[in-house]
Every structure is written in C-alpha cells, then in structure tokens.
Structure 1
Amino acid sequence: MRGFPVEHSVRLESDPATVWLMLVEAGRAQAWWGRLERDITHVAQELSVSTGSSSLYRVWIESITPGEALEFTSAYLGVSPVSSVRFDLSGAGPVRLCVTETVDSADPATIYQVRRLWQHRFDRLAAALPAMSATDGVSDIAELGARGGPGPIPDISVRRTLDRPGWRPLHRAVLSEWLPLSGPAWPPRWFYVVDSEGPRPFPIVRWHTHFDDLITLGIEAVRGSPPTEAEVAVTAHSASLELQVRHTGWSALDLDAETREVLRDRFLATWQHTLQRAAQV
C-alpha cells in the first residue's frame, strides 16, 4: 500500500511467545487493544476489533509469520480510508515490538494522532504483561482486560517562559491575539481546536478572570458530559513571564477510552501551539 508510514515501538519485559499471543488471541488482546471478534489464525481472515461501544475496526489479515510478524489492512467502522498495519517482534526477551501503520494522509495532525493511539495501546500492553504468560488461561486474561482497561487520562499541563517582562498576556485587549477564542460579545463564547478536521469550536460554558494573572474557563469538549476545566495563569519575574496551562476533566467524558485519548491529545497540541504563539505576537 502506498502512503505515509507511522512507526512506534516498545521494549517489553516478556518472552516472544507471550507477546505473540497478546496480538493474536482474542482473550488476551482485549487487555490492551480491543475486543477481537475471534482469534487471528490464518491469512485472508476477516474480523472486527471493537475498542469501545461505538468504536470498531474491520481487519483483513494479509500475512502471518508466527512469533515474528503480523500484517493486516484496517478500516475504521469498516469504511475508507483503509490503512495497512504491520507488527514486528524481535529479541528473545526482552522483546522489541514495532508497529508500522501506513496511512493515506501526510497531515501532521493525522500522523500525530496515529502514533499517539499506538503509544496508548502499547502502554496498556506493557502494563498487562506482568500478570500474563504464554500458559495463562484465556478466560482469566479476558477478565483482566474487562476489569482493568485504560487508567485515568492525565491532565494537560504545559508552560512556557516569555522574554517579555511587563507584558500582560491575559489582558482583555491582547488575549484574543494569541488565545484561540471568538464570540459576538465578551466574554468569549468559543474555544477553537485546529487539527486535520480544520478549526473546531467548543462552547465555553464558564468564564472567570482574576485581574490579569488568571483565567479559568469551562469548555464543553463533549455535548452532555461535564465540562472540562482549563486554567491559564501568568507569573511575572524580573526579566520574564511564565504562562501556565492546566486542563482537567478528561476521564469524566462520556466517550470510548481511545476517543477520549485522541480528543485530549488534540487539545494538548492546541495548548502547546497557543503558548508558542504567545511568544511570537
């Protein structure tokens, strides 16, 4: 398949047989990847991988080299675009597991999203492995996957030092020059995330300011879920300023685990870009 390869690898403190079974056995894959429709057993097999109540991939197995490599094509919700995914195992223990997903877009936000998804999945795989071996019962492992799942999603916390002593970045007159806000009146009504889907507005449901050193805002990241809470603070030093952002509330969103992680990562990228922009205005 022609396209743009995205790679991610992890070093796993386990043996190759156990890691291989974590890829191909449905009961084991549930602990880190998703609910496989059935075990992966042969080339030309078609099956689904459900990663949540509304998140599903259709998978077509292209090649299998037991204990070494697995390759398949995958389509989210069974429709295009189709990507090609390959797992490669090396080492006798610890094991290096590498995934390469070839996607149809070179858009940086898409590449970032794909890599972060595999990073999250491999983190879960590494966390699940200590409790498993190649001889463990599949039913016990399936139960572990159903109980455990992803842990709480961490808060966003970013900061940047600005060589602009005396500047007031949180003052109303300059705030919209670097923070992605809009609205017909004050306070702002929308916070924007810009990614591969273009600029997406998210409603601001609460807005509080404390002079020019602190802004807190509630952002409705998902309709019907509790709003996430963002806090933007500025600390003045003798020769510089420090801008800090803390954005919380991701674990409470009514989304599948991977969808929450993707959304949180997009907000993280937006905040990082926003602080970079503040240093340049």
Structure 2
Amino acid sequence: MDNAQPAVGAAEPVRVDVVVPATVAEVWAALTDAVRLAAWFGTPRGYWVPGSSWRVEFGDGDFFQVTPRRVVPDRRVEFDWSFLGAGPVQRVVWEVTPAVDRTQVTVRDADPARSPAELHQMRAGWTDFLDRLSEYLRTGRPTRYDWREEIDGSVDVASGWLPLQLDVVFRWLPIASDGFRPSWFFVIDDDGPRRFEIVNWRPGGTRIDFGVRIPGSGRTTVAEVNVEAMVDRQRLRFSHRGWRGLGLSDVRARSLRSRFAATWTEALDQARQFGRAVAAEP
C-alpha cells in the first residue's frame, strides 16, 4: 500500500491510498453495494442517498452514524459520520481512480480538531480497512474483522463543565453509590444481569479509572474515562477493555461487549445533553 505523506498538524485530513486488483465497476460495487460492503467493512442500514441518515454497524455494538453528502457513480462517495452517533462529526471521501489494469482507491478523512494521536490512529484504521478491501477484491472471500476487544468513544462538550466531578459524573454515567463510593455499573437493557460491581474506583481531576466485575467470569474489565481541554471545547473520552480475557465463550463475551457498548453510547449522549444544558445556563 502506498500511503501519502503524514499530515502536518491535527487540522490536516488523513489520506490513505491503495491500488487494488479490480476494475472500477468491481470496486464501486464493493464500496456501495450493501452485501459487498458488509463483506469487508460493515453492514449498512441504509442507502447512499444524499441527505439520508443511517448506521453502518460492525456486529459488536460499534457503529457509525452516516449522512451521505455527495455520490458520483463510479467515482466518488462523500459523507459525514460520527462514531456511536455521539463522537465528532468527520467528513470522509472515498474516491475511485482508474489505473493500468487496476484501480486506485483513496480515502480522505477530515476532522479539524483531531489530535496527533488520533491522526495516527485514524491512518492506521483506514490502512487496515483498505487492506481488507484489497484482499476481498483479490479473493472474493469475506475479510471483515470479527469483533473488537476494546469499547471506546468520545463526545465533545462545553468548556468549563466538569464532567468527572463526582457529583456530576452520576448525572450521565449509569453508576450508583453504596453511600460511600461508586459501587455499581448499570447496563440499560432488559437482559440480565443488569447490575455489575465496580471495583478499584480511582478518581482524578481529568481522569477516572475503575474495574467492572463480570459475574460468571470471576474476572474484571477495566474502564478509563478522561477529559481533554481543547481550544473551544473539551473532549470526553472513554475506553473499556478486557472483553476477550473473561474466560467466557466467544458468543457470550461478544454479547456482553455489545450490551456495554450500547450503554456507553447512551452515556455519551447523556453527557452531551447535560453539558449543553449547563452551557446554556445564564
């Protein structure tokens, strides 16, 4: 794969290129046909109709909320998307260019507020996806990843708000106290169990770490929440790891991960709404 030079500064878009062993028509179908897109990328729950809004899902609780902006058949797809529907909105372009006996696919992914670490992570992510696209087009076999071990995400909130202050974190994160410290994490669905013990709660000014004990496993997943100051806002992030190390069946571990992903998604949305309400106060 021939990648472009690294972007200079966080305001520059990520660009990744790959030349694939397929015709323009074959590549276009892989990018826009629902069955083919699901074979190497994710499952679309809508169509590439400009102005529509739908999800592309990855089968483990992760998804992007997608809004197509422009579609030029056999040439270009331009869309906005947001991870978990709460993260920063990013403008993505998929471009198809004929090459000698092959086709070049270019991805551009722009987020002006992206940090250098996020820039590197996004370039690595698109490199992996385009490698999967190339392998799918070469072999015709599905190359989509199974499921991610880590749940993570972020949401932008107003500056000056303190989302990790103890009396505030209870407002958006689904946790409960035993009267002394946070003791329970609640998964918001109708499956069981819905209450999970919190262990090793470690608060800080801009970061909280804690464990979530999984019944039937005897093991603990690890969550981290932090807030990063930006020029005109804050970025609230979380990471929740340990889903493949529970000693459970793959089906059970994946199901639990999906349930927690949905709960974290709702928590990010609650944080965004609560932050907006605080910012709007006189």
Q: Report the TM-score, using the length of structure 1 for normalisation.
A: 0.50
Larger Rg: 1
Q: Report the TM-score, using the length of structure 2 for normalisation.
A: 0.49
